Amino acid sequence: MAEQKKYLLFLATPDSEFAKKTYGGYHNVFVSLLGDEGEQWDSFRVVDGEFPEEKDLEKYEGFVISGSSHDAFQDTDWILKLCDIIKKLDDMNKKVLGICFGHQLIARAKGGKVARARKGPELCLGNITIVKEAVMPENYFGEEVPANLRIIKCHQDEVLELPENAKLLAYSSMYEVEMYSIKDNFLCIQGHPEYNRDILFDIIDRVLAGGHIKQNFAETSKATMEKNEADRKFWQKICKNFLKRKHSLLV
């Protein structure tokens, strides 16, 4: 019998009441997108200082770093510790998928530059342009590489400068770095492949209630999903291909 494959999710955000009530928490949101039968998915709430033992990292096939309301350029203890873990996972040649905050933190840990987004925050369904020639040779996309992909965006920071050896895979009119890879062990996405319309609308309602955005910004954000949906199935394929395909001999 084949040994059970294990994956680890670094949760850099608390569960919202909506996520708890609807899905049982963000752990389940990620596993519904990325998990397959027979796998074990463990979560550590790093935002609360919960981390795995360093000696246990070896037993995991792949890792995911979630989004967060925290800035990836902050120097709080848990963020600095997570940066150190990213470097260790790189040394171990482990696969790491970075989502939003995770995408930014990997850039920081690997020597890139992250800061407040120059064109302002984004909280909507976005459309990003794929750099088709860069997708090869790893190609987590499959046979057909689209020119554009829709993805839910929810962030106020951005990657300003890519780390050395990073390869730009997608950009948009708002941000120069929407997606990048480093060798075949880091894949980083600024948007949220795990989010759906309901999760986005709950976030919009909460940040509006908290006074962080204006009513017209909230209405414009929701309007982006009136006639379109995120390409969630395609993102699922990309992320699973990355996490679960064997390493190539690329350097």
d(CA 171, CA 128): 6
- Helical axes 197-209 vs 215-223, angle rounded to 10°: 170
Q: Which of 100, 124, 154, 239 is catalytic?
A: 100
Angle at 181 between CA 103 and CA 234, to 5 degrees: 80
Does 194 qualify as catalytic in the annotation?
yes
Q: Which residues contact 233 (CB under 8 A, 6 or more apart)?
A: none
Does 212 qualify as catalytic in the annotation?
no
Chain centre distance of CA 49 = 20
Q: Which of 103, 188, 192, 239 is catalytic?
A: 192
Q: Which of 103, 154, 194, 239 is catalytic?
A: 194
**Helix (H/G/I), strand (E/B), else coil: 110:** coil
Does 192 qualify as catalytic in the annotation?
yes
d(CA 117, CA 191): 14
User: Which sequence positions are flagged as catalytic?
Assistant: 100, 192, 194
